[in-house]
Structure formats: C-alpha cells, structure tokens
Amino acid sequence: MREVELRRDRAGGASDSAVESGAAWYTERLGVALVVVYALLACLGVLAVVGAIEGAFFVGRFDARYYRTNPFRIPPQLLVYAFVGSLTHVFTALAADPDAETRTVLRFGSRVPVALLLVFPAYVLFVSLPGHVPATADLEWTRQLAGMAFLLGLFVEHAVGGFRTVGEALILGRIVRPMLGRLGRSATDASE
C-alpha cells in the first residue's frame, strides 16, 4: 500500500518526505532485528511469569514477612509483569500498524524501561492505601499487584498521565493551597 502511495506521489510530481522515507520495519535489517529482540524478550518474560525460569529472576517466593518489614522493597515479580505488559503493548501496536517504520517500532520499545520505572511509584501508592499491608499472604492481594503492574506496562501513557495528575494534586494540596491561604490572611490583615 505504501508503494502505491509512493508511486502515486512520484507520478504526480508531489513529494511527501514522510511517505518516501517511511519504509516498513520488515524491509530493514534494524527493524527485523528489533522485532526479533522484542519477541525473544517477550518469550523470556512469559517463561518467567509461568515459573519456567523462576530461579533466574526471583530470589525465593513472595515472602510476606520480608515485605512487611521492608515496605519500600519492590517484589521482583511486579517488574516481570510490567515488562510483559509493556511488550504486550509493543506487539498490539505492531498488530494495529503492521507497516510501521523502524523508528516507530523503536519508539514502541522505548515504553519498556518507562513501565519498569513506573512500578516503583505505583507500588508505593498502592501499599499506602488503607487496608493494604505490603505483601500479605493473601492471594487476591498478590493478584491485584500483578495485574496493576501488567496494566502499567500495557498503558504506559495513561499511567504517566495519572501520576502527573496525582503529583499535581499533591503539590497543590500541600504546598500551594497553604501559601494561598497565608497570602489571603496577610492581605486581609493588611486591609484592616
């Protein structure tokens, strides 16, 4: 389809650089190599999630006592689920745009490290909610954490937007509002 558009543009004399430079990822070695690396990483992540290579990624099981005494230590399983979620996003984006350019495929993959980093603030916020003790032995709680990590990886842009909103609300609530209140009081005191 891109070749037809290219021929049509060249025949008409018009030049659209985005169309001309936009070779599909599977026509370039770098694009194929990126997708192969993503596929291998996805297989590795799936093997880790199902427990086939558990010893390589996890130091012991999900030990509730350890995480209760160290509430800011992130269980490594959450990183694996975020990793698998972000690679799921890569392949669903490729399925939606199978003729994507190599630079677009590279951009899809740039979400993987972002997803891994987002697990940390999400975990801290999650365990800060009332009634959520870090890493209790409750199976339902563990599934919620794993699901949260997977969804963080799958919806990186939305997670970044959500954290931005939470951050702005916290900053406005704890810093700006008290300052505005003091300014309002001092202005009232000065007018009296």
Q: Which of 25-29, 101-105, 149-153, 166-170 has the lowest mean pLDDT?
A: 166-170
On the question of pLDDT at 84 being above 60, the answer is yes
pLDDT reported for residue 10: 42
If asked whether residues 89 and 140 sit together in one domain, one would say: yes
The answer on pLDDT for 138 being more than 70 is: no
pLDDT class for 1, splitting at 50, 70, 90?
very low
Same domain, 182 and 102: no
Query: Which whole number is the average pLDDT over 145-173?
Result: 85
Residue 118, domain extent: 2-154
pLDDT digits (tens, 9 = 90+) for 9-38: 444 444 343 333 578 888 888 889 999 999
In this prediction, residue 185 carries a pLDDT of: 58
Residues 107 and 184 in one domain: no
Residue 89: closest CA among 116, 62, 71: 116
Q: Do 56 and 122 belong together in one domain?
A: yes
